[in-house]
Amino acid sequence: MTERELFDAYNKDVYRTCYYMLRNTQDAEDFCHDVFVTVFRQDWRDVEHTRAWILRIAMNQCLNMLKRKQAQLKKQSQILLLHEQTTESVKSVDTIVLEKVEEEEWEGLFKQLPEKLMAVVTLRYIGELSLAEIAEALGIPVGTVKSRLHKALKIMRKKLEQNQNLSLKGEKQFGTH
């Protein structure tokens, strides 16, 4: 298999994995390119499970970027918190309440599963890997893959139920239901 054939065979899987991990088209394209640069620099012809190996490289690169972004967001939120603390005494109560509601909605949009759980869900449902392939790609036991997948689905189900209950309560409160 040539490098071009390898790229053509796995490009879509790598892009899809990167896209669902990073949720950004441009980042996914960049990381897809970077993954194949990494693959071609290594002795990829001797790898037994090529697809799982390539997706593991993609996943690791995406997780590293998410960790960097998370650290950056943490710093930004600390700065925002300091700013809020200094300006909060000047704001009206209504303004503070509205900002808190908007902040909670924003956090809800960006709040994702923990990275380890997101990785398993992405590889399983987006990458369509088997549990054994996921275990190999992440270097963890199959039982750990199963438990992480179960936990991720449980968390997602709980969030959906909570969101539905909140919207129903709000509708009843304002007489729209």
Q: How far apart are the first and last CA of the chain?
A: 61
Q: Is 137 exposed, middle or buried (0-12, 13-18, 19+ CB in 10 A)?
A: buried
| pLDDT greater than 90 at residue 10 | yes
| pLDDT greater than 80 at residue 2 | yes
* pLDDT for the residue numbered 162: 72
Six-digit token string for 164: 């539905």
* pLDDT for the residue numbered 116: 87
Sign of the CA dihedral running 162, 157, 113, 35:
negative
Contact assessment for residue 50 and residue 6, using Cβ atoms and an 8 Å cutoff: yes
* pLDDT for the residue numbered 135: 92
Q: What are the tens digits of pLDDT across the range 96-140?
A: 565 665 555 434 433 557 888 878 877 887 788 899 999 988 999
* pLDDT for the residue numbered 87: 59
Six-digit token string for 35: 């993954």
Residue 117 is which amino acid? Answer: L
Residue 16 to residue 120: CA distance in whole angstroms = 14
Task: Quote the percentage of the chain above a pLDDT of 70.
Answer: 74
Contact assessment for residue 165 and residue 173, using Cβ atoms and an 8 Å cutoff: no
* pLDDT for the residue numbered 81: 77
Tell me how crowded residue 119 is: count the other CB atoms within 10 A of its CB. 27
- Angle CA 148–23–136, to nearest 5: 35
